[in-house]
């Protein structure tokens, strides 16, 4: 593949040919921004054999797509470009230099709330963690606060999960233990102590969660000038995709990577697609970027995805938002009107009637299910859609984003890898015991393994295998234990073991087949991204934990996606359902008022939804949802699909 093969418009060409200095590319939906980013990186690498490029993305999907395109363009030279998410980059530099901030290279990631709650409980139970003012132990003080905070909205309730929500919010807002947290309406005096104690416990246990990856990476670069200088020198050019989705912590990390006195920074963003305010994204951040770096601006308003009628609806809709770049150009349709039935607008008596009509319409129009998608504001509505499609003989696809595997056999193998990497880790030992019982109906007591490990230098994995091998197990499970002992306990060679494990059928369970396929696809992606001979086990596990375990879509299935889940995707036929007040926009947003930031974000979400369309949009609403009467969404009128007197 050659760069000359691409037909580029003038604005795309200008962006690709940008050399040094700060540039902001305001790229509308369907404008070819990923192509522009990829071609610019390829041009830099081709022009200068010594140049290196770091491209930071918001999702692993975007990074994978860019990497695949760049490899086709550049072959082996693409290795000089590092394409990853912010969290993956943070994990990389902590693996290399984290010892400066108390993080060892083989740190593990806490991917489940249950594991983080266990860490919180450890903090609360250990009275020596942090004395408070020399009187009550910290844990007693905090426990009493949890009991008394249930009815105080300014503080936090006793539920540990809400404590995690608070910590995640603090991490996202780049909190560092100050007496006042800007993201909170009120900062209780114990919040800094809680935050610092939690971070200290993460360091002591050598375990990190997603938010703390960014926290410790920022701490590393801000407190160690030598590491910061090495990191800055490693990357001559830095690109950022989907900048509008970044939170404060990600932006602060970027500022540590890119000095303002020599900013070779290339940023792609669209303030009309900011739909992650709940995760810390903000329209203010784009303005701060332009101010902090003095960004030059190139706009990509040309849309190559949507037919002209969609572009008209989208421009009409988003023009009602006040919080936008003042110089933002409206979208311009590149396609010409091609066929009829591009816009279908339907009203129903009830949500049940609205949902039931989808399968009938797909069949009536003789549409290919591979080309269809159902979008809605909420997952509750989509679950009903999935049931209806199934009842009508169609296969729904509700993607499940999981941080961990659920099938017992797959969970056991994953736990075995983790225990092989951390031989003295009691938590991974516990997981192995629990998964083995669910997998084989054989019980192995954790305490027995701990006692036996004393004969193996404290090696839990060897002790576990020795005990399990003495149990009443079938030959197939005995073969599995032999392979795990030989490949993991003795040699720490995992790739051949995994290939063999995936090829075997261990349980008569469709979930096993699905999760093995998911794992194999993730594995292949990782081995494609990194040299297999350089991939150590702890590196592999860290990268695995950063990848969402999303169930693959089957051919012929109809995706049922939230608007957030559809971002970055495109489909020939789009059903946008639930277009009623208090559904889309949400009840919460409507109560905040017509000019609130919440309504503006809902409007941006609707803008994102309709700009997924390549050909046909079927937009619908019902007069009643769950038995409650609803008015048509204000967005219908703003798009020009209804008038106020309808």
The predicted structure's pLDDT at residue 161: 74
**Mean per-residue pLDDT, 144-151:** 42
Beta carbons of 633 and 621 less than 8 angstroms apart: yes
- Cβ neighbours of residue 609 closer than 8 Å, sequence gap 6 or more: 375, 563, 566, 574, 576
Q: How far is the C-alpha of 542 from the C-alpha of 417, rounded, in Å?
A: 11
Domain's final residue, options 523, 550, 577: 550
The answer to whether residue 210 is domain-embedded is no
pLDDT computed for residue 332 by the predictor: 96
Whether 85 and 128 map to the same domain: the answer is: no
Backbone angle region of 371, left / alpha / beta, with phi > 0 → left and psi within -120 to 50 → alpha: alpha
Residues 314 and 388 in one domain: yes
CA distance 297 to 24: 5
Strands (E), 518-566: 549-550, 558-562
- Residue 353 pLDDT exceeds 80: yes
Pairwise CA distance, residues 413 & 422, whole Å: 14
Tokens for 627, please give them: 């038995």
Pick from 122-126, 345-349, 415-419: least confident? 122-126
Q: Give the domain CATH number at 589.
A: 3.40.50.300
The confidence score (pLDDT) of residue 337 equals 72
Measure the CA–CA gap between 115 and 546, rounded to whole angstroms.
Answer: 16
Least confident window among 29-33, 138-142, 229-233, 520-524 = 138-142
pLDDT at 189: 76
Q: What is the rounded average pLDDT of the residues 569-581?
A: 97
- Give the C-alpha separation, 103 to 392, whole Å: 53
pLDDT band at 3 (very low <50, low <70, confident <90, very high): low
The pLDDT of residue 475 is 92
What confidence category does residue 118 fall into, taking pLDDT thresholds of 50, 70 and 90? confident
Residue 151: pLDDT over 60: no
More confident residue, 119 or 355: 355
One domain, residues 376 and 436:
no
Q: How many CB atoms lie within 10 A of CB 13?
A: 14
- Which pLDDT band, with edges at 50, 70 and 90, does 279 fall under? confident
Q: Which residue has the higher pLDDT, 225 or 326?
A: 225
Within-domain flag for 339:
yes
Same domain for 447 and 527, yes or no, is yes
Q: Which two tokens stand for residue 435?
A: 């998964």
Question: Quick check: is 211 in a domain?
Answer: no
Half-sphere exposure of 437 (CA within 13 A, CB side): 9
Residues 279 and 361 in one domain: no
Q: What is the CA radius of gyration of the chain?
A: 26
Q: Report the chain's mean pLDDT, rounded to a whole number.
A: 89
Helix (H) or strand (E) holding 452: helix 446-453
With contact defined as beta carbons under 8 Å apart, do 576 and 617 qualify? yes
**What DSSP letter does each residue of 216-272 carry, written as one string?**
HHHHHHHH-HHHHHHHHHH-SEEEESSGGG--HHHHHHHHHHS-TTS--EEEEE-GG
434 plus 489 within the same structural domain: yes
Rounded mean pLDDT, 239-246: 95
Distance CA 138, CA 147 (A): 14
Share of the chain above pLDDT 90, in %: 67
Q: 308 pLDDT exceeds 80?
A: yes
Please indicate, yes or no, if residue 644 is contained in any of the structural domains: no
Q: What is the mean pLDDT of residues 83-109?
A: 95
State the pLDDT at residue 107: 92
State residue 130's pLDDT score: 39
- Do 439 and 386 fall into the same domain? no
Give pLDDT, residue 6.
Answer: 81
- Structural domain of 85: 3-93+217-300
pLDDT per residue as tens digits for the range 583-592: 999 999 999 9
Looking at residue 338, its pLDDT comes to 67
Indicate if the pLDDT at residue 134 is higher than 80. Answer: no
Which residue, 515, 550, 585, sits at the end of a domain?
Answer: 550
Residue 269 lies in a domain: yes
Q: Domain total for the chain?
A: 4
Q: Which residue, among 609, 557, 604, has the nearest Cα to 578 in the 3D structure?
A: 609
* DSSP for residue 85: E
The pLDDT tens digits for 617-626 are 999 999 999 9
A 10 A CB-CB count for 312 gives: 16
CA–CA gap between residue 548 and residue 553 (Å, rounded): 14
pLDDT at 215 over 50: yes
Structure tokens at 450: 């701990």
Contact 562, 578 (CB under 8 A): no
pLDDT bucket at 164, cuts 50 / 70 / 90? confident
Listing DSSP states for 194-220 in one string gives HHHHHHHHHHHHTEE-HHHHHHHHHHH
CA distance 361 to 102: 59
pLDDT of 274 higher than 90 = yes
pTM: 0.87
Question: Per-residue pLDDT for 146 more than 70?
Answer: no
pLDDT at 156 over 50: no
**Could you give the CA distance from residue 461 to residue 429 in angstroms, rounded to a whole number?**
8
User: What's the mean pLDDT in 74-88?
Assistant: 90
226, with CB counted inside 10 A (0-12, 13-18, 19+), is: exposed
Q: Evaluate whether residue 362 is within a structural domain.
A: yes
* Residue 99 domain flag: no
Residues 437 and 564 in one domain: no
Q: Which residues touch 238 (CB under 8 Å, ≥6 apart)?
A: 53, 54, 55, 56, 254, 257, 258, 264, 265, 266
pLDDT above 60: residue 81: yes
Question: 590 and 465 in one domain?
Answer: no
Same-domain status, 238 and 374? no
What CA–CA distance (Å, rounded) separates 131 from 138? Answer: 5
Structure tokens at 577: 């359902």
Question: What pLDDT, in 10s, does the model give residues 9-66?
Answer: 999 999 999 989 999 999 999 999 999 999 999 999 999 988 999 999 988 888 888 8
359 & 460 share domain: no
Determine, yes or no, domain membership for 101.
no
Q: What is the pLDDT of residue 341?
A: 62
Tell whether the model's pLDDT for residue 235 goes beyond 80.
yes
The candidate with the shortest Cα–Cα distance to 32, out of 306, 239, 319, 274, is: 306
**Interaxial angle between packed helices 475-484 and 460-469, expressed in degrees from 0 to 180 and rounded to the nearest 10:** 160
One-letter-per-residue 3-state SS of 394-440? CCEECCCEECCCCCHHHHHHHHHHHHHHCCCCHHHHHHHHHHHHHHH
Please report the pLDDT score of residue 331 as a whole number: 97
Nearest to 623 by CA among 387, 243, 350, 304: 350
Boundary-marking domain end, from 246, 275, 300: 300
Among 35-39, 265-269, 422-426, 501-505, the range scoring the smallest mean pLDDT is: 422-426
Same-domain check for residues 118 and 150: yes
At 590 the pLDDT is 95
Q: Coil, helix or strand for 521?
A: helix
Integer Cα distance of 354 and 374 in angstroms: 12
């Amino acid at each position: 593949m050659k760069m000359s093969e691409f037909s580029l418009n003038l604005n795309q060409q200008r962006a690709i040919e940008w050399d040094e200095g700060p540039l902001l590319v305001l790229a509308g939906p369907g404008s070819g921004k990923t192509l522009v980013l990829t071609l610019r990186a390829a041009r830099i690498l081709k022009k200068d054999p010594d140049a290196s490029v770091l491209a930071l993305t918001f999702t692993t999907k975007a990074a994978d797509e860019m990497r695949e395109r760049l490899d086709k363009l550049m072959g082996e030279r693409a290795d000089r470009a590092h394409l990853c998410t912010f969290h993956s980059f943070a994990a990389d530099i902590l693996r290399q230099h984290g010892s400066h901030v108390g993080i060892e290279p083989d740190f593990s990631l806490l991917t489940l709330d249950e594991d983080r709650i266990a860490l919180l409980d450890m903090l609360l139970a250990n009275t020596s963690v942090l004395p408070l003012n020399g009187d009550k132990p910290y844990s007693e003080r905090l426990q009493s606060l949890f009991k008394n905070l249930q009815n105080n909205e300014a503080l936090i309730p006793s539920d540990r999960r809400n404590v995690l929500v608070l910590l995640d919010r603090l991490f996202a807002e780049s909190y560092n233990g100050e007496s006042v947290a800007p993201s909170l309406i009120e900062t209780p005096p114990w919040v800094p102590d809680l935050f610092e104690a939690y971070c200290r416990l993460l360091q002591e246990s050598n375990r990190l969660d997603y938010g703390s990856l960014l926290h410790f990476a920022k701490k590393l670069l801000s407190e160690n000038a030598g590491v910061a200088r090495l990191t800055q020198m490693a990357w001559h050019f830095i690109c950022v995709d989907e900048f509008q989705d970044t939170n404060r912590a990600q932006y602060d990390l970027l500022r540590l990577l890119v000095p303002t006195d020599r900013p070779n920074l290339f940023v792609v963003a669209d303030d009309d697609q900011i739909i992650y305010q709940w995760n810390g994204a903000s329209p203010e951040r784009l303005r701060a970027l332009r101010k902090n770096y003095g960004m030059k601006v190139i706009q990509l308003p040309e849309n190559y995805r949507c037919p002209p009628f969609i572009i008209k609806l989208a421009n009409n809709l988003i023009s009602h938002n006040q919080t936008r770049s003042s110089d933002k150009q409206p979208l311009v349709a590149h396609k010409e009107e091609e066929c009829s039935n591009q816009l279908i607008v339907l009203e129903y008596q009830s949500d049940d009637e609205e949902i039931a009509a989808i399968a009938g319409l797909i069949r009536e129009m003789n549409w290919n299910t591979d080309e269809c998608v159902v979008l809605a504001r909420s997952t509750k509505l989509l679950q009903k859609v999935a049931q209806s499609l199934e009842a009508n003989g169609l296969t729904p696809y509700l993607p499940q984003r999981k941080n961990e595997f659920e099938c017992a056999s797959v969970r056991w193998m994953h736990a075995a890898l983790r225990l092989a990497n951390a031989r003295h880790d009691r938590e991974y030992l516990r997981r192995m015991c629990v998964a083995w019982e669910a997998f084989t109906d054989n019980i192995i007591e954790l305490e027995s393994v701990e006692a036996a490990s004393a004969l193996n230098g404290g090696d839990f994995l060897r002790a576990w295998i020795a005990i399990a091998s003495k149990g009443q197990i079938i030959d197939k499970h005995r073969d599995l234990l032999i392979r795990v002992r030989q490949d993991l306990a003795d040699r720490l060679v995992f790739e051949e073991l995994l290939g063999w494990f995936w090829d075997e059928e261990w349980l008569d369970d469709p979930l096993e087949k699905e999760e093995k396929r998911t794992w194999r696809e993730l594995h292949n992606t990782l081995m494609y991204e990194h040299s297999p001979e350089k991939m150590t086990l702890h590196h592999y596990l860290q990268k695995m934990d950063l990848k969402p375990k999303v169930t693959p879509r089957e051919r012929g299935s109809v995706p049922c996606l939230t608007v957030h889940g559809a971002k970055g995707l495109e489909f020939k036929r789009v059903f946008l359902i639930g277009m009623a007040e208090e559904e889309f926009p949400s009840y919460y947003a409507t109560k905040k008022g017509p000019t609130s930031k919440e309504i503006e974000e809902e409007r941006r979400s609707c803008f994102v939804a309709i700009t997924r369309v390549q050909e046909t949009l079927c937009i619908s609403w019902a007069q009643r949802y769950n038995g409650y009467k609803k008015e048509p969404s204000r967005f219908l009128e703003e798009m020009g699909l209804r008038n106020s007197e309808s």
